[in-house]
Structure 1
Amino acid sequence: MTPRYRLFLLCGALTMATACAYARGFRLEGRIEGLQAGDTLRFERILLPSWKYAPGFDVVVRKPGAFRYRGKSEHDRYYLMTYRPKAGRAAAGDRGGKPVIVRPGDRIDMTGSADAIYYCRLGGGIYDEPALSSLLAVDDSLGRIRGRYLENAREASERNDAAASREWSEKFSRFYDGNPGVDRKNMLRKAYEAANPHGSLYLLIDKIPMLSYTPAKEAHKAYETLSEGLKKSYFGRMYADCMARMEQLAEGKPAPDFTLVTTEGRTVTKADFKDRYLLLYHWGLCPGSIYIDRQVRDLFEKYREKGLQVVGLTESIADIRSVYESLPAGEKTPSAGVDDIRPVLAGMLEHGWIEAELETGHPENRQIMEAYAIEGWPFFVLIGPDGTIQARNYTNAFYQAKKILGGEPGGTAAE
């Protein structure tokens, strides 16, 4: 059993531990312009820390423009609402749904419009706090504009206007670059945190998924600031449990064993890299990977003769090849962080290191993601010759790996 799998089991055990608690009622009500009778609002439970989903409940709209739901819960819940219209499709957005935190006894109201339902305003429960309401209002406003860019890209693609689709996709990717709304959002976030020096349910839930890459000392420091009530809450106990499990993947700890089937059909294990540096690199079609991939290849070429090996983990190389072949060869295709994405993709298809695909018939390939709690792209884990973790995180772990391999001051793994 992998450490990551144990993390899911132990965190999930909290649900079982509270199953016998007294269930209290809660209410959800919405005034959403454009909702039609027969539309469905699906509320799925968000399972932290991995952001997986479990069945919750469906609300079928009976009266145009409004809905109501009464339920019961033994503890605080975190839901993702998705809109499933009876006819047509939901508008594209920059998020997969509307997150909603509901406590037993809460009465949550939602107001907005169906064409931007994932950016509707929440009221009641924790959402009545002015500082949080202001923060979410700005976040929703930014997301609604960015989501429209994605919708424009989709509409352009459907009318076979590839140039316009790429232009809107590029605007979508670069939306937050220099956007003054981001500064305002950050300011409001700081104001909300200042107003809640001992934490809040919103901040607590927001931090749990980050535990997979938050340094242990930082995670402990944040936990110690929490009020006793939050520590004893369902999500407070989840935070503590997940924090303890993640200490198994801290720098200096033994790296978990793994087995992989490569794209060449070979089987490799952690033991095959004994006495060498090994960099695990989770990459894919994301701006971060596109920006840093050239640097990873340069690092490999510089240190491969000195004992560095890289194992690339990606969902599907065929998907990347398909995107590469679809791009015009005679013109540049800008993307976030690069003037032309085509040569970047070409480099990705010619990595000189070991590659393993995750979307295959080999479940052991997916298990390495759980063993090392790898989430998102690009993610790096540097394993030292002694078999211990020396760096593990997103891009900052790559730069830490560069320091370690180069013997620079501050490049040694933390004790």
Structure 2
Amino acid sequence: MTAVKEARPRAARRWAIDLRPLGVPAYRRVWLGNGVAMFGFQFTAVAVPVEMYALTGGSFWVGLIGVAGFLPLLVFGLWGGAVADVRDRRRVLLAAGTLLWASTLALLAQALLRVGSPVLLLTLVAVQSTAFAITSPARNAILPRLVPAELLSAASTLNFTTFTAASVFGPLAAGLIFTFWHPDVGLPVAYAVDALLFTVSLWATFRLPAMPPEPDADGAAAPRRAGLASIADGLRYLATTPVLLLSFAIDLIAMVLAMPRALFPETAEQRFGGGAAVGWLYAAISIGAMLGGLTSGWIGRIRRQGLVLVLAVVGWGVAVAVAGLAHQLWLVVGLLAVAGAADLVSAVVRQTMLLVYAPDRMRGRLQGVNTVVIAGGPRLGDLRAGAVAAGFGAGAAWISGGLAAAVLAVLLVAVFPALARYRSAVASGGDEA
């Protein structure tokens, strides 16, 4: 009996999320600040497409939100990564974070004044995206400065799980706002919540120590200027590392082709009668990712990370496609949750590969590329979904995208097998997968 009782805690530890990084005070503050801010941002993430759909009555304009978000990411994500390699990363986070906060206040102001301009809405989304593109590379690049290498996978998992938990409860709370209040009232409330909670992130960043550039262990120095030459140097490094390049490519395939979120307002209205359904749809993927994160103890022990990444992307595409066929809200939410769990695995594995593979002097620039991929990919997916839905209907746009992502992911690794063959050199436990 004693052996059985001891085995159960060990089994639980193998599956339960690894909380050891929270023992590091600096990481704990950043984790808390980012988690609270991300919960607040979900109110804006729901409010903007709801407002756009209310103003225009079509998913095409909702899809244009993806364009407004992607173009600044493409430009400023790469530049922001270069800045993170030459400037104090704490100062970069504070400056760009203040811009992000100001853009949220502007969204609140236009909602209170009932401006009703789709163009202004797209412009403010672009400003938010610019600020996010600058902060994101620096925020991700500081992680190896906060925790030791053996905890990078656990810290990345905690970050993604917290993000997905916020993405679950934030949209649900936003859905309740639009259930009980007319958008004329609900929209200002949603934007105000985001602006208020983002101040916690600014506080956590202010408490960080200075983080100026540091030379690598081999003596290689960080670049002195964040110009085109520095960006090109980072892209050249990426081009010479096929594993990282393919990991970015397969994530783009998954997000551009299979992300269905631009279809949520139309689907909620036409298939489920509106109301809280839109909140459930926006939360569904994150529900699965959150549950996947809470049972993610095994991810840190993965050795064959490349193969697991490929399987996760294929699983994402298939689950999204099947969800597009369902006509019961609970079933759609459940299938999207399965897709979200696969996405959590994909995101953690890819981020761990990037942080372990890249030297510190390159982390900012590669995280800039990562920002373009992880934030720009879904926005291009919004455009694709909205455009296809305008021509063929939301159902066709939803199903075809998921199937195409799964098929192209398999074809990519069949032609370029380096990713599927990749094995991790750093893991927190015994061999698995």
TM-score range, shorter chain: under 0.3
Greater helix fraction, Structure 1 or Structure 2: 2
TM-score by length of 2: 0.25
TM-score by length of 1: 0.26
Q: Which has the larger radius of gyration?
A: 1
Greater strand fraction, Structure 1 or Structure 2: 1
Asked which structure has the greater RCO (Cα within 8 Å, sep 6+), the reply is: 2
